[in-house]
Chain A
Amino acid sequence: MTTTIAHGGVTANAKTLLGRIKYALGKFFPSWVGQPFHMTITITHADGTKEARRVFNTVTTAGRNGIADQILASPTLGKPTHMAVGTGTGGTTTLNAEVDRNALTSKLRSGAVVTMIGDWAAGDATAALTEAGVLTASTSGDLWLYTTFAVVNKAAADALQIQWTLTIS
């Protein structure tokens, strides 16, 4: 079984010097570089081989508001419950060209780190994917986290998993 990991930024060119510097700095100064969260996209092909890609992401205003809201005695803003993938770029309050949205497979906290996982089985979300997001509802909802990435071709027989790590720092 082969696993390939690429380190990348929000732009299509994941191997630029800038991308590598941002990734390295983000590990030590996540807030300073404005990328306090990361995600890993893993495609599992029908033959069992895997391809993985790490990507920076954007925390939206809705996401920041939502995190703050959870501190209140009676939060009124929704929590992240679903993850979506699409074929567009430049989403701000929703994905630009959403293809598919699934309920989160899991959502766990360890210390100040919350890890959210979304899974797409074979036959689901088959497309040349370029964007993903975490939202607060099964449709519409608030977009908390968003990112774009170089095309990830999910074939019909492939399975897709996105692991999104949210670090409060």
Chain B
Amino acid sequence: MRHKINVHEGSATKDAVVPEVEVERLAYEVVNPLFKNGKKYETGSTIQLDEATAASFLNSGDIKEKS
């Protein structure tokens, strides 16, 4: 999603586009079913997660590194 914002400089107006945030995601194997962003991931499926989110799920044993 790209957001368009009107920027006012004095009496002039121009458009600025806020760049999308690129979040690096890696693939992990689901150990316990997960519910992420409105979608259920069953055991054995692959899920793409950012590093921080993956860390908590790895710690809880819900996912594992893909072999």
State the A residues within 8 Å of B (CB).
46, 81-82, 84, 98-105, 119-126, 137-139, 156-157
A138-B35 contact given A103-B62, A156-B20, CB 8 Å threshold: yes
- Within 8 Å by CB of A138, from B1, B20, B34, B37, lies B34
Are B35 and A119 touching (Cβ within 8 A)? no
Contact across chains for A122 and B56 when beta carbons are under 8 A apart:
no
> Is B21 an interface residue when CB atoms closer than 8 A count as contact?
yes
Q: Can you offer 20 A-B residue contacts whose CB atoms are under 8 A?
A: A46-B18, A46-B21, A81-B60, A98-B35, A100-B36, A102-B56, A102-B57, A103-B56, A103-B57, A121-B50, A121-B52, A122-B21, A122-B23, A123-B23, A124-B36, A125-B37, A138-B57, A138-B62, A139-B35, A157-B21
Minimum CB–CB distance from B60 to chain A (whole Å) comes to: 4
Contacts of A119 in B (CB 8 A): 52-53, 56
Interface flags for B19-51 (1: CB within 8 Å of A; 0: not) read 011010000000011111110100000000010
A124 to B23, CA, bound (A): 10
The docked-state distance in angstroms from the alpha carbon of A99 to that of B34 is 11
CA distance A68 to B39 in the complex (A): 33
Closest A residue to B25 by beta carbon equals A123
B6 interface residue (CB < 8 Å to A): no
